[in-house]
Amino acid sequence: MSKKNIKLLTLVSSIIILSNIFSAYINAFTEGIFKSYLFQTEKAEFEFWTMPSKGRDVEVMERHFESFKNAHPEYSDLKLHRTFKRNPLKFWNWYVYLTNEQYDYKYQEEINK
């Protein structure tokens, strides 16, 4: 590799790494502080909006979902899905996409009631 290619690779890598470190600030600036995420079951029998900045995270959602399934035994086989996609062009979120538990859920289109 030439010196020019090495410098370019170093610059791009540095930008990606630094942007992932400061992704919370970038997202606050581009998307707002109070971002929320919708999770639904396959036919929207249960839905839950998480808002991590307000303490309504995946753990809270899981507790509510377990309570729902206990109250409605006919829905005991339901699974939650996220209704928001990963955007690979937002390279500053790549680390979050790989490590945040909210992206462990399968994706499905939002069902409007």
Instruction: Report the predicted TM-score, pTM, of the whole model to 2 decimal places.
Output: 0.87
Note the pLDDT of residue 1: 77
Q: How many CB atoms are located within 10 Å of the residue 69 CB?
A: 17
Rounded Cα–Cα distance for residues 76 and 67 (Å):
10
Residue 53: predicted pLDDT:
86
Q: How many residues does the chain have?
A: 113
Alpha carbons 8 and 18: distance in angstroms, whole number: 15
What pLDDT is attached to residue 108?
Answer: 97
pLDDT at position 113 over 80? no
Residue 12, pLDDT score? 96
Per-residue pLDDT reduced to its tens digit, 16-30: 999 999 999 999 999
SS3 36: coil
Q: What is the pLDDT of residues 35-83, one digit of tens each?
A: 999 999 999 999 999 999 899 999 999 999 999 999 999 999 999 999 9
Radius of gyration of the chain (CA): 18
**What is the CA 2 to chain-centroid distance, rounded?**
39
